[in-house]
Structure 1
């Protein structure tokens, strides 16, 4: 995301859809940055699973549903949507709206998990999306040069979940058993690190998520 934004000509208009706390704003100082969010999540959600505790959307420019953003067609040179689509009841409707807003020749930059734990509940409607979802629907919406890059692979994802064992035990089972499970898994983590060094594309099975850049024809 950061490297792509750095390549954009100064003054390009950028929409950050589902911007939340606007973490992308820092990379857009040379651009005309506009943020959008529905501004209903405040950090605690329904108190289930992973929550942030606090979530500040006070500086959002456009407060609206992501499927009905009040801006004219072809308004933006670039539309960003990072880690948002899993929180939208109808992600395809959101994608159609983002496609409407980007000008011909402009780009969309999208990231979403392929597999994720429940977070920001109750605003969590999908555990993730595959590269084929992006490739199929972006092509149908008139986008070309669709580049989908995986974030990590099978070994990375499994190692992350193994390291969560103490927290999982403390939260959902037994704190002591969580630590015992982690200690038992340490040798396996070492083997997985060796496997990672010779990884031949395990991301086709499992990845944290996909980073997608596509150009509108």
Structure 2
């Protein structure tokens, strides 16, 4: 969660990390499932705040072997209502069948349990070819509602200027252009402009807290 303002992911991660600490962490309790855990970037933040931190993914990430190794579009090997909290960060866009994924979330979480979810609205292709969707806030609300969740809060990861800065940094990084001072100037300028001229329509990500409300 510590990221330098001289790196190309500073804009998006500064928003995500702050939201995780201020809004997501207080909601996490009991048994937590990191569903699509990947590199487990938020493990250290959450694992001291919950009774048990369980990871699940379709692949090993470096030396990180998930507790539950999944097969795509197959059910999680655990009983219904086993978890109190589910953490899903930047995973939903890589899921070929988002309804199946969210239905599984609803199945394995307790009634009243909390789903902490982030997903991109605008981002360049990544983890190719396993990159399927981008989401508006209304798309996320619709998907969550029909799979048994009620959205408690939804916030954007930056606005238009944060998005413009992030697009420029991603473009430079993928072309091997790395100038630490230039990156810092872009990062700081984009965030200053984002605060000065907030916008909720052209955004990088959505960050969601939802509750399990009924059987999916």
Which is greater in Rg? 1
Of 89, 96, 100, 2:96 maps to 89
TM value normalised by structure 2 = 0.74
SS in structure 2 of the partner of residue 203 of structure 1: coil
Which residue, 40, 47, 61 being the options, matches 1:28? 47
Q: How does 1:1-217 map to 2 (within 5 A)?
A: 1-3=20-22, 4-9=24-29, 12-26=30-44, 27-31=46-50, 32-39=52-59, 55-58=62-65, 60-65=66-71, 67=73, 68-126=75-133, 128-167=134-173, 170=175, 195-200=193-198, 202-204=199-201, 206-217=202-213
Secondary structure of the residue aligned to 2:200 is helix
4+ runs of 1 displaced by more than 6 Å?
none
Distance 1:207 1:105, change over 3 A: same
Please list every run of 5 or more consecutive structure 1 residues that lacks an aligned counterpart in the other structure.
Answer: 43-54
Q: Which protein, 1 or 2, shows the higher relative CO under an 8 Å CA cutoff with sep ≥ 6?
A: 2
> CA separation of 1:82/1:163 partners in 2, compared to 1, >3 Å: closer, same or farther?
closer
Asked if structure 2 preserves the Cα contact closer than 8 Å seen for 1:114 and 1:129, the reply is yes
Change (3 A) 1:157 1:104: same
Contact 2:125–2:131 (CA<8 Å) still a contact in 1? Answer: yes
CA contact (8 A) 2:119 2:205 kept: yes
Any stretches of 5+ residues in structure 2 without a counterpart?
Answer: 1-19
Q: Secondary structure, in 3 states, of the residue corresponding to 2:106?
A: helix
CA RMSD of aligned residues (A): 2.8
Helix, strand or coil at the partner of 2:131: coil
CA displacement at 1:98 relative to structure 2: 0.7
